[in-house]
Amino acid sequence: GGRSGWWRVTDKGARFVRGEINVPEHVLVYDARRLRYADDARWINIQEALGNAFSYAELMGIAL
């Protein structure tokens, strides 16, 4: 339909990126639908999700 590959950040996604909420580390998904959180799901913040690849604070221009 001409929109393949077009995505937008959800409100929840924006809140996660701003560090306002944590999300489960593992989620079971099928056919682009969330089935449930994994049994061992640990709730993480954006810094934990990104790991040590780069500085989140530097990227966002903030002091942590």
pLDDT of residue 60: 78
Return the pLDDT at 13: 93
d(C-alpha 64, C-alpha 10), whole Å: 25
- pLDDT by 10-residue block (mean), the chain, 64 residues: 80 93 92 87 90 78 71
What pLDDT does 50 receive? 85
Residue-level pLDDT at 30: 92
Q: Residue 34 pairs with which residues in a beta bridge?
A: 29
Question: Can you give the pLDDT at residue 12?
Answer: 94
Show Cβ contacts of residue 35 under 8 Å, excluding neighbours closer than 6 positions: 27, 28, 29
